[in-house]
Structure 1
């Protein structure tokens, strides 16, 4: 036979078939490995060697030497049966239980087939469920008295022969159980290693997804700010077509520069998304992220767009603020100014920064609640800006509050931890 069928229970497979058994259905056929051929060949040679030994002993005239005392015709038939049982060992990997059941009657009288029967029993104990193996072992134990009666050993009494038979079968079963346990341990370790590798790949995929989510959040924050400036200046040009030429020129310049900056930001974000994160591709270096030091530039852009912004800077040692804290503060101010332009155009926006090492950094953006509806087309939004800010503050270990206060103003306030030096 050149192939064996993989059984239904992968935990009972020999080591050479374990990998195929876990991934293959019962009907899949797997070819023998060189190790399987070697083991099967040795088993066949051992069975034939035992047949030759028993045949040689049957020819002995000394009854004290003969291993298989009995009628001469039985000895001749037994040799043929032993050879056939040895040849049947090539089928033991494919049909171990069927082969064991078919050869079970030989345990009643055959001496020449004893080695083949024990090898088949060993295979069943190693590779098949324990209840099936226990039934076959029990059959061999129950037939031992009949075998000893038909094939008595002239050198020892009945009880001694029975004791040796039971002990030999017990040693064989113990060895088979040890091999079975070792194979199961190897399969368990292999499965554990494969699960660990799969979990590592899952963690890598999750890290990639989180990175893309972070990039999407950054894209929302940056582009919402840029596009709100574009919308504000375009709205001014739409409702003031009679504005002086120099004002129209300044507004057009702001629109052009904001559009250029928005396209540049979008190009960088799309580049990062295309570059891959960990597939061996080299991504372009990211532009330095804004920090607390860039807040004045952000305020200047809003003022250039016509937004009235009042800044109260009460930060102690602003140069020593951690980079992550400063970046979060910048994004909070950016979102606050963007929301003010969207929902309260023309209102005075107050930005307050306060705190220091060991105290924390407080960021507050406040503007009067709009009265009536603003003229013109409202700036569209996704409604997820505050959600992103809340997530950012939560990940930093801070607190966030937003909504109308007792005075009726809209207030966006956050506190970020700033460890002491």
Structure 2
């Protein structure tokens, strides 16, 4: 991470307290010389004050030109003690970058300028031990560098935390969007699986009423009753599927309908009652199968029968289910293709088998749908026994 990446934006209060601290440092440092300068070296007073004003102006660009501003502050410190506050801020600001190739030369320059200032621009009346003067100088420089590096380290740490938080939030938003997309696809599959076979049954019976004029009143009444019951079941199942969209549990009972093993025979009988010819053989004990896997199996058979009723309503459909806990479960649905297109067939959406493939893939199984040379359509699904 570059130093520019974690430098915070300064507010008006940040500028005010920095300026106040600079003026305090400059006042303390210049207070030991200003009297002597005014009485004995007026030129020094003017030069000291002028360099101080210059460093105070230059320190405004300490972030964009840190080395140049720190160099100006160090050089001015030889002659001007009024620039001590601005020079200290420039040195601390440079140290926050934590770039040793910048800090080490400035520390050396600061020591050299400090020694020259003590030797050639010192007040004659002030006598201090040499060790004390240079010891204070080294301690001040070390304190500025250490303080600046601490501030820079803390800023970088906060910036890294902020970046991680933003990245985590972005990842969370992406996961939410993905989850929503998956949930929408799941609901779309549920809507298709639950309603397609009901609506196709209604369409078939309604078509019979439209095209056949030889039905007596009892047959018409029975057909209308079948359409009514199928419509009622479709609405009930639609309400159950829409339960997954509710905010709280209990809005739809059951909220997520789960098929049971005995429902396979019920599904087959319902389609037989609607006029389909089905040969059904099941040699697997599906009561021991994982509920999630069985639900996928149920939906696959439901979609296969719906497709057969839509595209080959007069054909005999063969359904075979076999398997066990070790081998998994195999579903094979075979029906002959019609010899000619049926004018009453529902429009082909192509989404049913896509939904089957998605369900099977999500369950860790395999699916194939193909047309054989003897004009048969075969759907084969293999699913693992447990989740």
Q: How does 1:121-160 map to 2 (within 5 A)?
A: 121-126=91-96, 147=117, 150-151=120-121
TM-superposed CA distance for 1:244, in Å, is 2.8
RMSD: 4.0
Please say if 1:356 is aligned against 2:324.
yes
Contact 1:230 1:258 in 2 (8 A): yes
1:392 paired residue number = 359
How many angstroms apart in 1 are the aligned matches of 2:352 and 2:230? 20
Q: How many residues align?
A: 380
Q: Structure 1 residues 37, 272: CA separation in 2 closer, same or farther (over 3 Å shift)?
A: farther
Moved more, 73-82 or 225-234: 73-82
1:142-181 Cα distance to aligned partner (Å, 9 max, x none): 75676466426887999x9999868864663354234223
Contact 1:12 1:128 in 2 (8 A): no
2:31 paired residue number = 52
Q: Structure 1 residues 12, 201: CA separation in 2 closer, same or farther (over 3 Å shift)?
A: closer
Moved more, 300-309 or 349-358: 349-358
TM-superposed CA distance for 1:290, in Å, is 2.1
Contact 2:281 2:320 in 1 (8 A): yes
1:320 paired residue number = 288
Moved more, 139-148 or 110-119: 139-148
1:27 paired residue number = none
TM-superposed CA distance for 1:417, in Å, is 0.7
How many angstroms apart in 2 are the aligned matches of 1:336 and 1:32? 72
TM-superposed CA distance for 1:41, in Å, is 3.2
Q: Structure 1 residues 53, 142: CA separation in 2 closer, same or farther (over 3 Å shift)?
A: closer
How many angstroms apart in 2 are the aligned matches of 1:55 and 1:145? 20
How many angstroms apart in 2 are the aligned matches of 1:323 and 1:134? 70
1:293 paired residue number = 262
Please say if 1:308 is aligned against 2:287.
no
Runs of 5+ consecutive residues of structure 2 not aligned to the other structure: none
TM-superposed CA distance for 1:304, in Å, is 1.6
Please say if 1:226 is aligned against 2:198.
yes
How many angstroms apart in 2 are the aligned matches of 1:95 and 1:72? 36
- If the length of structure 2 is used for normalisation, what is the TM-score? 0.81
Q: Structure 1 residues 90, 44: CA separation in 2 closer, same or farther (over 3 Å shift)?
A: farther
Please say if 1:370 is aligned against 2:338.
yes
TM-superposed CA distance for 1:107, in Å, is 3.6
Q: Counterpart of 2:354 in 1: which secondary structure?
A: helix
Contact 1:48 1:82 in 2 (8 A): no
Please say if 1:31 is aligned against 2:3.
no
1:71-123 Cα distance to aligned partner (Å, 9 max, x none): 62244335644874797699578887596687676345213322431222322
Q: Counterpart of 1:13 in 2: which secondary structure?
A: coil
- If the length of structure 1 is used for normalisation, what is the TM-score? 0.75
How many angstroms apart in 2 are the aligned matches of 1:377 and 1:137? 92
Q: Structure 1 residues 108, 83: CA separation in 2 closer, same or farther (over 3 Å shift)?
A: closer
Q: Structure 1 residues 390, 406: CA separation in 2 closer, same or farther (over 3 Å shift)?
A: same
Q: Counterpart of 1:221 in 2: which secondary structure?
A: helix
Runs of 5+ consecutive residues of structure 1 not aligned to the other structure: 1-7, 18-29, 60-69
Moved more, 296-305 or 406-415: 406-415
